[in-house]
Structure 1
Amino acid sequence: MMIRSCMILTLALVGCGKLEQVGRAPEFSGLEGTDQHYAMYASSLPEDQRPATVSDGSSLWSGGTQSLFGDRRAAQRGDILTVVIEINDSASISNSTGRSRSGQQSGGIPDLLGIPQRLNESLPEGASMGDAFDMDSSSTFKGQGSVARKEKVTLRIAVTVVEELPNGVLKIEGQQEVRVNFEMRELIVTGYVRPADISRQNEITYDKIAGARIAYGGRGQITDMQQPTYGQQVADIVMPF
């Protein structure tokens, strides 16, 4: 009784939370308090990476990152780089298994110092120790399975270096939210990259990100309609059949 009451109360609270969003578009997630926020405010650009002030008005060159030959690649905490996601994977797996076995055993004691003949007198009619037992067995198994999958995703997202590890590897993190009417599309990327893998255009492809976690989804009215209700989800878990 207590468990059922707790389940009903939980579902009611969840439902009330959903009712607050009726007629309202999904709200953006705040950036304050995130790792990106702290990374941005915890570090500042070094002097050699800030836009240089040209002392001589006739000079065409400057020594900062804004110069023609300056290195604009992300290298420390708080820097920004672009992650290029171009996933075009397909996989096809097909397996089949077959197994069969048959066996036959028989045994008897026709003669053993006259003992089988004496035992035959006490056995039911038609039974004889000459053919004590006869066994046949057979088993057959067949199995088949196949998997066909195809995925294609092409995205670009700006991420922030949130941590520089002792070995020089950079931890990156980035979120992107796009709201169209009452549907919010979300893209999240996290992982570890080597500074040497960052191109001169300050870009890196997803296949060079170690421990990459890429999530592309959404929330809103369309997403809610594509999901079963909370009651149905709970019933699917609790019901044994």
Structure 2
Amino acid sequence: MLLALAALAACGRLQEVGRTPDFTPVEGGEEFYAMSGEVLPATNSPWLPAGQASLWSGNRESLLGDRRAMRRGDILTVVIEIDDQAQISNSTGRSRQASENMGIPGFFGLPQRADAELLYEGSSLAEAVDADSSSSFEGEGSVSRQERLTLRVAATITDRMPNGVLRIQGSQEVRVNNEIRELLVAGFVRPEDITRQNEIGYDKIAGARISYGGRGQITDVQQPRYGQQVADILLPM
């Protein structure tokens, strides 16, 4: 069974030899479904009503209208500016030392008699027990991490939750030579957090899921082969 699965995977990879990676189809995704679900109202008259023709109208199509994304299918811009740096350093030290001495130099002459008749030559009850102990421990650890990412991606409102929160999802693919760079973003935003420029920062997205990666020849050589990954899981050492 493993050999059959490996053969199928190899056949799929052989079909990509000499070809550039294909883009993911836009049709069929949640963004396309959200934008195609609503139809603009049609009008039979070539002229707009007098109220809609005014420049001071408050509707979305007017000059002063609020054009922020609010409805299902609307598009907004997500600004991703990640500049995180964390440094953690811990140091622990422990030391302990103990000394115990016990002897019977004199007790009605019995220690001297025991030294002469009962104990081995050179032994004495004057220094019956002498124990020393010491222990020490030192531990040190440090973590240093730095991440920086600046991106902008258009996202689509795919749903409006019962409490008014908007669910967004966006994707972007750029193909350079034989490598596709993918940017995916999804999460939940509040309508009041969307700026007048129809933008929202990534730090205002609840449940944010941001992925920046790629697929193609460069990504392929940077990953270990399937056989090596399986061997790393199965082998104990």
Query: Same fold per TM (> 0.5)?
Result: yes
Work out the CA distance in 2 between the residues paired with 1:124 and 1:103.
28
Identify the residue that residue 157 of structure 1 maps to in structure 2: 153
1:42 aligns with 2:34: no
Closer, same or farther in 2 for the Cα pair 1:181/1:116, shift >3 Å? same
Work out the CA distance in 2 between the residues paired with 1:123 and 1:43.
105
Closer, same or farther in 2 for the Cα pair 1:161/1:109, shift >3 Å? farther
Q: Identity of aligned pairs, percent?
A: 60
1:92 aligns with 2:82: no
1:77 aligns with 2:72: yes
TM-score by length of 1: 0.79
Work out the CA distance in 1 between the residues paired with 2:220 and 2:104.
76
Identify the residue that residue 171 of structure 1 maps to in structure 2: 167
Closer, same or farther in 2 for the Cα pair 1:132/1:82, shift >3 Å? same
Confirm or deny: 8 A CA contact 2:179 2:215 kept in the other structure: yes
RMSD of aligned C-alpha atoms?
Answer: 3.1
Deviation of 1:7 after TM superposition, in Å, equals 4.0
Map residues 1-241 of structure 1 onto 2, 5 A cutoff.
6-44=1-39, 54-55=48-49, 61=55, 64-107=59-102, 133-241=129-237
Closer, same or farther in 2 for the Cα pair 1:179/1:87, shift >3 Å? same
Closer, same or farther in 2 for the Cα pair 1:130/1:44, shift >3 Å? farther
For 2:65, give the aligned amino acid.
G
- 1:93-128 C-alpha deviation (Å, 9 max, x unpaired): 333222222223345678999999999877666666
Aligned residues: 230
Query: Is the radius of gyration larger for structure 1 or structure 2?
Result: 2
SS in 2 for 1:233: helix
- 1:130-169 C-alpha deviation (Å, 9 max, x unpaired): 6554433222222222233222211111111112111111
SS in 2 for 1:71: coil
Work out the CA distance in 2 between the residues paired with 1:60 and 1:196.
27
Work out the CA distance in 2 between the residues paired with 1:80 and 1:218.
24
Work out the CA distance in 1 between the residues paired with 2:97 and 2:5.
57
Structure 2 spans left out of the alignment, 5+ residues:
none
Q: Name whichever of 86-95 and 207-216 sits farther off.
A: 86-95
Deviation of 1:222 after TM superposition, in Å, equals 0.6
Closer, same or farther in 2 for the Cα pair 1:167/1:126, shift >3 Å? farther
For 1:70, give the aligned amino acid.
G
SS in 1 for 2:150: strand
Deviation of 1:199 after TM superposition, in Å, equals 0.7
For 1:82, give the aligned amino acid.
T
For 2:11, give the aligned amino acid.
C
Deviation of 1:187 after TM superposition, in Å, equals 0.3
Work out the CA distance in 1 between the residues paired with 2:7 and 2:66.
56
Work out the CA distance in 1 between the residues paired with 2:7 and 2:167.
40
